[in-house]
Each structure stands twice: as structure tokens, then as C-alpha cells.
């Protein structure tokens, strides 16, 4: 009997202790300090040196405020290829690389078919009658900061994405977002997808009424694009009461017209200067809005870019600097004809060249009873004869390629075996793809080189001390830095590290 009483008493003590511990764990979790709002800002095609090229033209409350009050990582690099919009936005918010998160380009091939990174035929447009809303993040394989915020708060937080470009709104916001909104150039309205909702929120419908009559040129190639984006971001905060619900929320914002203007006019044009000076004033206004609405020091904001841009080829040549264009369509047609003639077939053996990657048509090669390795090696040898390529790399034998280790790592990080094709092209410095028949005053991006890979990364606000570091940091370090500061798990494909200890 005494033994039985001892056992019962011991069990009672254990259950009381367990109950006390459980209650205290819940209390500790409830008391975790977090900002009211996390704001991620991506400036499309912003080279790192734009912080300084236009420094004297900036006011004190935009870029300069970020640089003086925030923590500035001066040596942040993209650690994969290609450096393009969809991948950049995905990598910023997943802390990962194409090899893992699966977004290997704006467009890429799946099962031999070219697909757009966000296209989704299972969903429909919400907000207009066009097909521009048939989009979702379903091709992205990893979680984002926003997804992890949702998980950490038992899905009580709100996450919203805003941009002119669909991919710049959808991919950053993540899989579990409450909404992603982008600009439909056919209707001149911000729209979304049935992936998120069946009807536009009232605040979006009301904001759309304020846009008025605009043209595609106005929105994408003038400061109006910055204005619409900033005002839409403020409308989202007000409409969804972001940061005002007692739970940490997140807003992702991407300024897209900087990229379109850069493509059209290049890195040194007055239009490029104009758009960044305007963006500086927009940032100043937005930060003031956050101070008033959320409270200074109560929000965490970071600014970065999805990629940079090459200096214009004609400008470089004018000053005696080696530079040349890569006409991918011409190379693609020539290589395709060569392979058909070489193997004596009438069917094309090449699916295409996209983002400096060569995609062989595996199904056609099998149907013609050809050996894939033989076809690939033939293509490799033909491409190696072209002087504009520094390296031509077989993805399946990357470690055998005689390329610098930095470039090799970027190729490996950018390679997803189901979506990246067969061969990586590495161009000479200052060479880039020309979209058209001749080189113009504009530019593009997509390469491993510093002009495309060196991006800004500044974080400001909640528990961030001002400072600067020249230590090597990477685009994949952004997500874990944010997650560390707000005490949540990093995204499930993250390979980076926090830059703030």
C-alpha cells in the first residue's frame, strides 16, 4: 500500500511539474519580442554603386537614412547564375539558390516545354478580364520569410506582396500569403489571382479608382511607376491594417520600373538618374508613413536588389573598353542546324537557349535513337570554337570543368537538374545578350560578373544598430538575417547565414 501511495504521489508531482513547465513555455513564447511589421524592399536592377553615383542628389530621408541609421552590407554578392528578376526575388526571400528553390529563370524549360516562372493555368484572374492573373507561386519549391512568419505565429500574421511585375509580387510573398497584387497593363489596374482570393479586397478596388487614365509608357518608363508602387504599398498597410493587429505582419514591395528604364536606356542615362532620384524621395515619404503609422523603431525594413546591370556596350567600346553583344537567337539557329546536319536528322535536337543555358531536346534525341552524351559533346565542341565564350560547361560534369572556383560555385548553385538544361555558357566580361538585331543604348543582366552580381543590402529599424561591413555577404544571407532578428526559423531551403550577430 505504501509503495502504491509513493507511486501515485510521484506521478502527481510529475504531472504538476509538466503542467507548470508547459504553461511557462507558452508564456515565454507569448512574450517573444518582435517588430510590428517587417517590410522587404527590392529595387529591380539596382546596382550597388547607385548608392554612391547619385549620392549627392539624394535627400537625407531616403537612401541616406538607410545608410546612416541602418546596417549596410557593402559587399553583398549574388552567388549563382543567372542573375535575373525571378531568381533574385526568390533568393532574397528564401535564402536559397535555384538548385534548391527551383526558380531557375524568368522562363525555363520543364519536360521540354518553355514555361513562365509564375504561370498557373489552374487559377484565374481576379480584378480584370485579362489572363494576367493566371499566376501563382506553385513552381517555387522552398518557403519564404513570409511563410516562416506565418508558421511561427500559427498563421495569425498577415503577409502581402506588392509590385508592378507579377513575379516580383508573387514570389517574395510566398505560398501562404494573404495576397499578392501586381499591375495589369491591359486594364491599368492592380489585380491578383484566385490562388489567393475570389474577389479583390475593397481597399484594392478603391485604390484602383485613383489610378486614372495612364499608358504603358507612363507606368513603366517614368517616375509614375514608383508613385503607383509606393501608394499601393501604403494602401496595403492601411487596408489590411498591417502591423496594427497585435501580431507581426509582413509587406514585400518591389519597385519594377527601375528595371524597365535600365533595359531601355542603360546605366548612365539621365532617365536612369531621374528614376533613382525620384525613388529616393518615394522611400523618404514611405519611411515617414511607417514612422507615423507603425511607429519609429517598431518596424524592420530592408532594401536590396534582385540583380544589377552591365554598362552599355556602345559606351564601353567608345572608351576603348572591350565589350560585345551575344545574339542568342543566331547562335541557337546555327547550333540547331549544325546538330541536325551532323547527325543526319530532320528533327531539331535543340529546344533552345535561355538565360545562357543550352537545352537539348532529350525526347527528340531518344526518338532519333541517338546517344545523348554524343549529341551534347558535339554541341560542346561547336560552342567552344566561339571566341565570345570564356567557358562552355557540361552541367553533369561541372567539377571536371577548368573554370575558377567562384564561377564553378555559381554554376552549381544555379543548376537544377529538372529545369536547367544541359550546358552553361560563360561569356567574356562586358559581353551580354542583345535582344534584337543590333546593339542599342540600353542594357541587360544575367551574368556572374560584379556588374550584375554586386547588389545593395541595408537593414534598418527594429533592434538594428547602425554600422557598415565590408565582409563578404551574399543574397542568400538576407533571409536568415531577417529571421534571426525576428526570432523565427529560417526558410526550409535556406543556405545563408545571418550577417548580424
Neighbouring residues of 174: CB distance < 8 A, sequence distance ≥ 6: 93, 137, 143, 144, 145, 146, 147, 150, 159
Q: Is the model's pLDDT at 171 over the cut of 90?
A: yes
Average pLDDT for 315-339: 96
Q: How confident is the model at residue 435 (pLDDT cuts 50, 70, 90)?
A: confident
Q: Which H or E run includes 454?
A: strand 454-455
Answer yes or no: 210 catalytic: no
Q: Kindly report the CA angle at 100 between 445 and 423, in degrees rounded to 5?
A: 55
Average pLDDT for 453-462: 98
Per-residue pLDDT reduced to its tens digit, 64-82: 999 999 999 999 999 999 9
How deeply is 348 buried, as exposed, middle or buried, from its count of CB atoms within 10 A (0-12, 13-18, 19+)? middle
Determine the pLDDT at residue 437.
84
Quote the mean pLDDT of the chain: 93
Determine the pLDDT at residue 26.
36
Q: The sheet that has 467-469: what strands, in order across it?
A: 125-126, 189-193, 179-184, 159-163, 249-255, 37-43, 299-304, 457-461, 71-73, 467-469
Determine the pLDDT at residue 27.
34
252 phi-psi bin (left φ>0, alpha ψ -120 to 50, beta other): beta
Per-residue pLDDT reduced to its tens digit, 151-169: 999 999 999 999 999 999 9
Biggest distance spanned by C-alpha atoms of the chain: 100
Beta bridge partner(s), residue 185: none
CA-wise closest residue to 428 among 311, 318, 326, 333: 326
Write out the three cell numbers for 278: 525620384
Percent of the chain with pLDDT over 90: 92
Determine the pLDDT at residue 4.
41
Beta bridge partner(s), residue 119: 135
Q: How confident is the model at residue 391 (pLDDT cuts 50, 70, 90)?
A: very high
Determine the pLDDT at residue 173.
98
Per-residue pLDDT reduced to its tens digit, 101-136: 999 999 999 988 999 999 999 999 999 999 999 999
Average pLDDT for 58-62: 98
Integer Cα distance of 360 and 372 in angstroms: 9
* Inter-residue contact 163 to 182 (CB < 8 Å): yes
User: Per this entry, what is the length of the chain?
Assistant: 501
User: Which three-class secondary structure state does DSSP give residue 271?
Assistant: helix
Q: Which H or E run includes 249?
A: strand 249-255
In angstroms, how far is the first alpha carbon of the chain from the final one?
58
* Helix 145-152 with 478-485: angle, nearest 10 deg: 20
What is the C-alpha R_g of the chain? 25
Write out the three cell numbers for 480: 536568415
Integer Cα distance of 313 and 324 in angstroms: 6
Per-residue pLDDT reduced to its tens digit, 2-53: 444 444 444 444 444 444 444 343 333 456 899 999 999 999 999 999 999 9
Q: How confident is the model at residue 226 (pLDDT cuts 50, 70, 90)?
A: very high
CA-wise closest residue to 95 among 406, 500, 489, 501: 489
Integer Cα distance of 120 and 138 in angstroms: 8
CB neighbourhood size of 339 (10 A): 22
Residue among 76, 85, 258, 272 flagged as catalytic:
85
Q: In 293-403, at which residue ranges do the beta strands (DSSP E only) sit?
A: 299-304, 324-326, 350-354, 357-360, 389-394
Q: Give pTM, 2 decimals.
A: 0.93
Amino acid at each position: 500500500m505504501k509503495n502504491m501511495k509513493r507511486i501515485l504521489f510521484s506521478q502527481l508531482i510529475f504531472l504538476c511539474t509538466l503542467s507548470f513547465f508547459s504553461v511557462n513555455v507558452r508564456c515565454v513564447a507569448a512574450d517573444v519580442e518582435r517588430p510590428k511589421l517587417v517590410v522587404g524592399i527590392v529595387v529591380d536592377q539596382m546596382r550597388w554603386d547607385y548608392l554612391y553615383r547619385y549620392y549627392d542628389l539624394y535627400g537625407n530621408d531616403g537612401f541616406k537614412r538607410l545608410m546612416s541609421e541602418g546596417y549596410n552590407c557593402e559587399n553583398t554578392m549574388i552567388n549563382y547564375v543567372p542573375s535575373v528578376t525571378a531568381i533574385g526575388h526568390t533568393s532574397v526571400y528564401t535564402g536559397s539558390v535555384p538548385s534548391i528553390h527551383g526558380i531557375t529563370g524568368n522562363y525555363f524549360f520543364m519536360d521540354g516545354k518553355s514555361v513562365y516562372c509564375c504561370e498557373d493555368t489552374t487559377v484565374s484572374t481576379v480584378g480584370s478580364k485579362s489572363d494576367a492573373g493566371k499566376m501563382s507561386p506553385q513552381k517555387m519549391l522552398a518557403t519564404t520569410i513570409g511563410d516562416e512568419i506565418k508558421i511561427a505565429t500559427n498563421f495569425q500574421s498577415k503577409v502581402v506582396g506588392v509590385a508592378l511585375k507579377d513575379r516580383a509580387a508573387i514570389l517574395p510573398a510566398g505560398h501562404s500569403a494573404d495576397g499578392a497584387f501586381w499591375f495589369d497593363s491591359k486594364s491599368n489596374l492592380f489585380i491578383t489571382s484566385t490562388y489567393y482570393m475570389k474577389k479583390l479586397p475593397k481597399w484594392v478596388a478603391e485604390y484602383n479608382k485613383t489610378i486614372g487614365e495612364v499608358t504603358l509608357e507612363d507606368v513603366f518608363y517614368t517616375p509614375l511607376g514608383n508613385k503607383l508602387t509606393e501608394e499601393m504599398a501604403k494602401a496595403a498597410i492601411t487596408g489590411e491594417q498591417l502591423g496594427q493587429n497585435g501580431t507581426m505582419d509582413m509587406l514585400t514591395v518591389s519597385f519594377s520600373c527601375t528595371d524597365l528604364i535600365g533595359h531601355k536606356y542603360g546605366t548612365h542615362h539621365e532617365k536612369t538618374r531621374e528614376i533613382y532620384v525620384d525613388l529616393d524621395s518615394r522611400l523618404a515619404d514611405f519611411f515617414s508613413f511607417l514612422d507615423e503609422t507603425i511607429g519609429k523603431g517598431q518596424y524592420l525594413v530592408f532594401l536590396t536588389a534582385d540583380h544589377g546591370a552591365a554598362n552599355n556596350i556602345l559606351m564601353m567600346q567608345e572608351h576603348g573598353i572591350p565589350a560585345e553583344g551575344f545574339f542568342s537567337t543566331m547562335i541557337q539557329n546555327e547550333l540547331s542546324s549544325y546538330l541536325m546536319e551532323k547527325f543526319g536528322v530532320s528533327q531539331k535536337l535543340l529546344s533552345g537557349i535561355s538565360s545562357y543555358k543550352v537545352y537539348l531536346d532529350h525526347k527528340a534525341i531518344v526518338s532519333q535513337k541517338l546517344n545523348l552524351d554524343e549529341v551534347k559533346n558535339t554541341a560542346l565542341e561547336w560552342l567552344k570554337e566561339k571566341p565570345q565564350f570564356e567557358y562552355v560547361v557540361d552541367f553533369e560534369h561541372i567539377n571536371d570543368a577548368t573554370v575558377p572556383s567562384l564561377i564553378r560555385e555559381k554554376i552549381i548553385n544555379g543548376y537544377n537538374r529538372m529545369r536547367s538544361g544541359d550546358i552553361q555558357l560563360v561569356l567574356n566580361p562586358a559581353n551580354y545578350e542583345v535582344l534584337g538585331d543590333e546593339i542599342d543604348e540600353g542594357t541587360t543582366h544575367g551574368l556572374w560578373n560584379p556588374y550584375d552580381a554586386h547588389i545593395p543590402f541595408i537593414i534598418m529599424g527594429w533592434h538594428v544598430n547602425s554600422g557598415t561591413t565590408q565582409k563578404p555577404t551574399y543574397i542568400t544571407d538576407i533571409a536568415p538575417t531577417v529571421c534571426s532578428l525576428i526570432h523565427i526559423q529560417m526558410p526550409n531551403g535556406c543556405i545563408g547565414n545571418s550577417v548580424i550577430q
